[in-house]
Amino acid sequence: MKKLAIILIVFFVTITMGLSAQNLNSAGKAYNKGIELAQEGNTQGAIESYQKCADICSELEEIGEGLKVKAETQICNIYIKMGVEKFKVKNYDSAIILFTESDKYAQLIDDPSTTTKINSYFAASYTGSGNALYKTKKYKKAVENYNKAIEYNPEYPKAWYGLVLGYSKLDESGMLEESVKKVEEYSSDEQLKAKAKLAAGKYFLKVCGDAIQEENYSIATMMADRSIQYNKEDPTAFYYLALASNAQANWVNAQKAAMKAISFEQEDQSNYYFELGRAYEGQGDTEKACEAYSNVTEGPNTEAAKYQRNQVLHCN
């Protein structure tokens, strides 16, 4: 009886090993078929064959583990390649779908380097999608995509630059300035850093202009100062600062700002000289005020400058 039991055990082990070998052989054929289809350019067929191989190997447990990982790696790489192709033609939504599929297989094969690579593709794709949305003035959705990019790669400067632009349109000044800092921190591209600062400067300049229109000169002064922090040679920012300072009878600051504006503007300086004249006039320096007003030769302040010279200051 004992001898019979041993014989039966050997029989079943032999049968099991035979079936395992047969299944492993089938898995190998499916894997090779996947290679063949991939070489022919039949990517969907290749994916299906590799997946068939992986499914068979899953049933084989440890025996099929090595081949299973190889098959899943091939599927992962196919999806990455397809995603990159979509990215290159700026089909970002399709690229994201394909990278999502590749990420599933990267998790299965537990390969950190592949996951890192896919994350970089995600970041670039979401940034590209954000840029497309920004161009169509869908600013909120664009910001969502830029933030999604940063989830995948927190140090991706192009996504942070996108946020600078997006937040400027949404009037999120605090988030805008934080994004500028991140561009500074993570980018080695000096042009990108300069563009981020320029965008921030323009945003605060616009806010300053709006405050001047509303005659809220204290806010205008603060916004002009913040604009100048990002663009230290913008004549318009210094002009706005001079105008707001004159409106608050801050003559010395107005004088300094107007002179800065003049030094950075090589063409039409008439408006700047008008504010300089007002600043000198406020300080009681008639001679310099007259000289400044004499340089207002065009633009909307021409007649006002003449009036100050002839009727108020009685300039020679």
Fold type of domain 216-316: 1.25.40
CA distance 140 to 144: 6
Q: Which residue has the tokens 């950190």?
A: 112
- 255 vs 12, more confident: 255
Q: Which residue has the tokens 């300072």?
A: 245
- 111 vs 19, more confident: 111
Q: Quick: pLDDT tens for 129-163.
A: 999 999 999 999 999 999 999 999 999 999 999 99
Tokens of 22: 């047969």
Tokens of 299: 């633009």
Residue 22 pLDDT > 80: no
Greatest mean pLDDT among 15-19, 87-91, 262-266 lies in: 87-91
Average pLDDT over residues 205-234: 97
Average pLDDT over residues 199-227: 97
The pLDDT of residue 20 is: 58
Average pLDDT over residues 241-269: 95
Q: What is the mean pLDDT of the chain?
A: 91
The pLDDT of residue 266 is: 84
Residue 9 pLDDT > 50: no
pLDDT band at 12; cut points 50, 70, 90: very low
The pLDDT of residue 60 is: 84
CA distance 87 to 132: 13
Average pLDDT over residues 292-298: 94
The pLDDT of residue 21 is: 59
Range with the poorest average pLDDT among 24-38, 199-213, 272-286: 24-38
Average pLDDT over residues 62-70: 88
Percent of the chain with pLDDT over 90: 85
- Which residues are within 8 A (CB) of 315 and not within 5 positions of it... i.e. 6 or more apart? 286, 290, 293, 294, 309
Asked whether the beta carbons of 131 and 149 are under 8 A apart, the reply is no
The pLDDT of residue 83 is: 97
pLDDT band at 107; cut points 50, 70, 90: very high
- The single-letter code of the amino acid at 302 is T
Of the candidates 74, 121, 113, the one whose C-alpha atom is nearest the C-alpha of residue 96 is 121
The continuous run of DSSP H or E covering 23 comes out as helix 2-39
Average pLDDT over residues 65-76: 94
Tokens of 282: 């406020």
- 28 vs 221, more confident: 221
Domain ranges of the chain: 1-110, 216-316
Residue 5 pLDDT > 50: no
Three-state SS for 75?
helix
The pLDDT of residue 19 is: 40
